[in-house]
Each structure stands twice: as C-alpha cells, then as structure tokens.
Structure 1
Amino acid sequence: MPGLPISCSTNTPGAGANCGVNGSDDCCSTLPVPGGTFNRLNLPSLPATVSDFYLDKYMVTVGRFRQYIERTGGPTQANPPPVGAGAHPKIPNSGWDPSWNSKLTADTNGLKTALVCEQWDWPSWSNAPGAEEKKPIVCATWYELFAFCAWDGGRLPTQAEINYVSAGGNQQRIYPWGGASVEDIELDDASWCCQGDGTVAGDCKTGYPSLYPCSPSDLTDVGKFPKGAGRWGHMDLAGNAYKATRDGSEIYQLLVPCNDCSRLDNNSISRFMHGGSFLAAGYKQTTDFQASYRSDDRRYYVTAMCARDL
C-alpha cells in the first residue's frame, strides 16, 4: 500500500469523510495509477514512461493543511521537513533539500499570516476553521506544498506523472474526461473561466471574453464536478486550481528521454504546474497546456495533489 495519508485521521471538515459531490467521500482517498508509456503534452517527440503509483483523488484541502499546522506547527524554519523527505523512490536526490529551509516562514504565526495572502485578497485559508475547509489550499508556496505532501506520507508528483493521469495514459486525452477538440469543455466539467459559482462569464473556450466577473466563489470545494473525472477516477485534474509538480521549469523544456524522470533543478526559481484553474480559459485546462510559477510565490490559483508509492 502507499504511504497512507494521516491528515484525515481526525475526521474534521475537509479532512475526513465529507468531500466530493455528495459530501460523504474520504477527502484523503488515494487511487492507484497503473504505469505505462505516453506522450507528454500529446507530442510524439516527448515520450515518457512512469511506474505504478498512487495519486490522491482530491487536491489538498484547507482542512487537511490545517491538520498539518495544528499537529506540527506546519512547515517553518523552526520546523522544516526532514532532509530527503518526500522523495520519489526511483529518482535519487528528489527529496527535501535543506537549502530550502530558508524559503519557509520563520514560525507558525508567520505562516498563518502569509497564507491569508493579503497581496491578492483571495485566500482559501482562514486562521480559524470556516466555510472553506473543503476548498483547495491556495496561496501556499511550492515549498509548503512539497512539505505538506511529505508530512502526509506522500510527495509531489512529477510533471510526467500528473500529465500521464490527466491524459488517461496512452489514451492521450485532450481533457481528463476525453473530448475530440479544445472545444469539448462545458460548465459541468470543471471550474474554469470564472464560472465555478454557476455564473456564466461567456464563451472563453479558446480565449478570454473582454469582461468576465471572477470572484473567490469560483474556487469550489474539491470534487464537485464528477463529469470531469479522469480515467482512473481522480477529480479536478482540470480546473479549480493548478496542480504543482516536482519539476523545475527554469530551463523551460521537458527531459528526453524520460523514464520516471523529473527535472530536479533544486535551486530553480520556478516550477511546472498543470491542469488549469478556475480563472483560466478552456484551452488552458487541456492536458497539453504547460505553465509554471515561481517557487516562492503565493498564488490564489495553485494547489497540489499528493502522489504516493507502492
């Protein structure tokens, strides 16, 4: 079995049997992914092979991240992850690098203040449990997301792994649910183009309308779009929030050849993310769209899904 998550052991909102479309699924459910070979970004020039692994069914929720902070103080300079934590078993030196400790906030109070994300004013975090415990944790840095997955018995997936799951492996899907073209995305597939709260902003499948009303309510609880599930049952692979990966993106190209590969680039200032978000246009939700962000940025549209190993 994989390193089973511990963040749901208290059965609190967003960290227990209360997620998904019916509000009764395990927020920490983790699903097997059979390994195989596929083309990253649907390009024959970018083949990759990944081994069997597990990927959490849902993105990391506020409630699960809260458990990390309440039980340990969270990832801080005073309480950094152990050296090597969160490593991919087939990729040497892929675990926590102690040089990253300085990228963490000094202490728990500093972490909580930072998660409020005042520069954007669109956090999902609140310093006391509230109505958004089942939403993805956003405004956490890449380092904090890495640390959470390591503490919770897992790791960040590689770019190849999350792309493999989203594309349905060798099915090479355009969207996680399928589709014949970039046009094949609807309101009930995912939270995208500021339509997660049910208000229709306009047709932005291939581009943005001139005006569209985005709000924090467009970031939805995890697992609210079962029609958009991937081949192996994973939710929100497209939309809601981008999913951070292990791979550095300072060199903006993917490794070739790739057999359980990851561009480590431990000192990289940026990381690949995958899967689109609640405010991105339709074409950015496709499995062949590539994006990145700064490792120390707090983005209100980036979260993570944790991978686990057999």
Structure 2
Amino acid sequence: MEIGKCCCSAGREQAEAGIDRPHAERQVRQAAKARDIHEMVAIPGGTFDMGTETAEGFPSDGEGPVRRVRVDPFYMSPYAVTNAQFKRFVDETGYVTEAERFGWSFVFHLLVSPETAKRVRSVPQEVPWWYVVEGAYWAKPEGPDSDLCGRMNHPVVHISWNDAKAYCDWAGGRLPTEAEWEFAARGGLERKTYPWGDLLKPDGRHRCNIWQGKFPIKNNASDGYVGTAPVDAYEPNGYGLYNMSGNVWEWCADWFSPGYHRETSDVNPFYDRPTGRRSMRGGSYLCHRSYCNRYRVAARSSNTPDSSSGNIGFRIVASE
C-alpha cells in the first residue's frame, strides 16, 4: 500500500476514470463570524512526547521517532462538527461541497441500500469495499435515497479538506495542526495508546466507535453503531474531548509527509510544504486491528484535499 494511504479511507485519485471532475470554486463569504469560545474547550498547551515507536505503529506513515514537542495554548471544539452545524453553514452561505460538485462520493458498501448498490458503476480496485455513489454528499450520506433523519447530532461526513477549511473560515476558526490534535487527544496522558490509556476496552467497556467483527464483511456493532455515532458518544478524555479515537477521520491543517517528525520544529510543529495530501487523524468507525489500527492517538493518515467519503469529518480549533 502506498505510504500515507489508509485502507479504511479512499481518495478521488483511486476512483476509475471517466467521472466528471469540475473545478472546485470557493463559495463562502470573506467575512468570518465571531467564534463562540465559550462552547470550546481551553487546551492548556505544554510539552509532550509526540509520536510512537511501538510495534503497533506503522513506520511507513511516519509515526515516529518519538520526540518532545511543545504547543501553545489553544481552544478546541469538544466534538466533531455535526450535521446540524454544517447545515447552518450551508443555509447561511449557500456553500456547495466538493462531493456535490463532483457529483459523487465514497460510501462503504454495507451502508448503501440494495437499490443504490444496483446503480453503482465504479469501485476502486485497491479498496473494493468503497462504492463510488453518485448523489452521495453530506445531506445524503448513503446516496440519493438516504437522509439525516435522527443523525443531526452525528458528525458531518463527505467533507473534503477544502470544505472543512471553508467552514472554519466562516466560523472564525481553523483546522488543528497535527501536533495540536495529538496533544489534545492525549488528554494530559503521556505515551498512552488511546485517549483514555493503553487498554482498548478498560473493564470491558467500549470507549470508541470502531469496527466490531470481520472486516469488511460483518460488523456486529457491539459498540452500539454500524456507521457514525453521535458526537458525544462514549466518555470524553481528560480534556473533555469526545471521540478522538474512531467515529470519523478528522482533517488537520498540515500537508502530509512520512518525514513529519524529522522535518518539523519541536515547537508548534507544522508541515507547510505541499505534498499533494493533507493529514488526517483519529481513525473511523471502519478501523479494525486486523488491518488498520489507526485509531491510536499517534497514528497518522492522509488523503487528497478534494477527497471525501462517508467516514471523513473534522473539528475546529481557535488560537488564544
């Protein structure tokens, strides 16, 4: 598998040829709204051991070497941006996402209806569990015959990096850097595997929304969810942040590089050299230890800035 690619996400470059790819145009107002700091969590900043060198990691993703990193204080939303929040943005700005402009997005095969499945014309060879579904976008996450009924408090999905950036501009915030994201995800713990510690299920309790069963054939949903979960599902970490592992991948501000830990500063690190792919953190409801245990706090992945799928979302941060 190509470095930086994750088998539980898919990029537009993996879709078969012949699909129209119109140019994405910026469609947001220039004036940003004042952010609601009182609804965000104050992250104290400080120093921490970033990255991992454990056997569970993926060296080709650039998860190490472990190094001491310092980040300044900032604010972070306790939740990923929800469908309700993104709907408000769309209603107020008329923004059209890239999935809508392309006319399609990736949907996991077990989530599409039989009727939609019959109309699927393209499946990426590398990740055949992803269907190219025409008409899938944030408001119709499984295709034209789906809706958001009962899911307004779930994370918005089918959001490209460019879409996430547009929302952040409108809201008066920004996407987190990888260092900010990992510092916040650790919740004050040092060198732990997950936001709550080293055990995936302490006391037998599910602490995140990931794949349960045999991927990609059967998800027994023992954690309560087949697809996305509400943004406030499970217990928060030590900083009061929810679902920093699993549920949906979250875009970060950085360009992705496997050499990240060797090529960025130890103080407020940020990879700003274009590589064609943007970083993602946190894993999703499709991650499973058998093939993609990237729901660990040090794990990294990436995708092209115009890519979207049914397991990619984001959360917003703000500087002090």
Q: What is the TM-score when the length of structure 2 is the normalising length?
A: 0.65
Aligned to 2:27: none
> Aligned ranges for residues 9-24 of structure 1 at < 5 Å?
none
Aligned to 1:260: 268
Aligned to 2:166: 147
Matched, 1:125 2:125: no
Structure 1 spans left out of the alignment, 5+ residues: 7-27, 77-103, 196-200, 202-207
Residue in structure 1 matching 2:46, options 36, 39, 63: 36
Residue in structure 2 matching 1:213, options 190, 211, 219: 219
Matched, 1:68 2:67: no
Matched, 1:272 2:291: no
Aligned to 1:22: none
Cα deviations across residues 60-83 of structure 1 (Å, max 9, x unaligned)?
A: 11111111111011267xxxxxxx
Moved more, 122-131 or 282-291: 122-131
Structure 2 spans left out of the alignment, 5+ residues: 1-32, 54-64, 108-130
Decide whether the 8 Å contact of 2:185 with 2:195 is kept in 1.
Answer: yes
Residue in structure 2 matching 1:235, options 224, 237, 242: 242
Matched, 1:225 2:225: no
**Where has structure 1 moved over 6 Å in runs of 4 or more?**
115-118
Report the CA distance shift for 1:34/1:218 in structure 2 as closer, same or farther (over 3 A): same
Aligned counterparts of 2:231 and 2:201: Cα–Cα separation in 1: 24
Q: Secondary structure of 1:150's partner?
A: helix
**CA RMSD, Structure 1 to Structure 2 (Å):** 3.2
State the Cα distance separating 1:299 from its structure 2 match: 2.0
Q: What is the TM-score when the length of structure 1 is the normalising length?
A: 0.67
State the Cα distance separating 1:248 from its structure 2 match: 0.6
Decide whether the 8 Å contact of 1:5 with 1:154 is kept in 2.
Answer: no
Decide whether the 8 Å contact of 2:49 with 2:190 is kept in 1.
Answer: no
Q: Secondary structure of 2:51's partner?
A: helix
Residue in structure 1 matching 2:194, options 156, 169, 175: 175
Q: Give the length in aligned residue pairs.
A: 241
Q: Secondary structure of 1:191's partner?
A: coil
Supply the AA of the counterpart residue of 2:246. G
Report the CA distance shift for 1:274/1:129 in structure 2 as closer, same or farther (over 3 A): closer
Moved more, 121-130 or 240-249: 121-130
Aligned to 1:157: 176
Moved more, 233-242 or 132-141: 132-141
State the Cα distance separating 1:137 from its structure 2 match: 1.1
Aligned counterparts of 2:204 and 2:306: Cα–Cα separation in 1: 33
Aligned to 1:110: 101
Supply the AA of the counterpart residue of 2:153. K
Decide whether the 8 Å contact of 2:215 with 2:288 is kept in 1.
Answer: no
Supply the AA of the counterpart residue of 1:260. N
Matched, 1:249 2:256: yes
Cα deviations across residues 121-158 of structure 1 (Å, max 9, x unaligned)?
A: 77552397633221111111111011111211210000
Aligned to 2:318: 308
Aligned counterparts of 2:253 and 2:158: Cα–Cα separation in 1: 17
Q: Secondary structure of 2:219's partner?
A: coil
Aligned counterparts of 2:283 and 2:245: Cα–Cα separation in 1: 6
Aligned counterparts of 1:185 and 1:66: Cα–Cα separation in 2: 38
Decide whether the 8 Å contact of 2:105 with 2:132 is kept in 1.
Answer: no
Report the CA distance shift for 1:248/1:160 in structure 2 as closer, same or farther (over 3 A): same
State the Cα distance separating 1:168 from its structure 2 match: 2.5
Decide whether the 8 Å contact of 1:244 with 1:303 is kept in 2.
Answer: yes
Decide whether the 8 Å contact of 1:36 with 1:169 is kept in 2.
Answer: no
Report the CA distance shift for 1:164/1:178 in structure 2 as closer, same or farther (over 3 A): same
Cα deviations across residues 92-130 of structure 1 (Å, max 9, x unaligned)?
A: xxxxxxxxxxxx68xxx738x557967257755239763
State the Cα distance separating 1:242 from its structure 2 match: 1.1
State the Cα distance separating 1:276 from its structure 2 match: 1.2
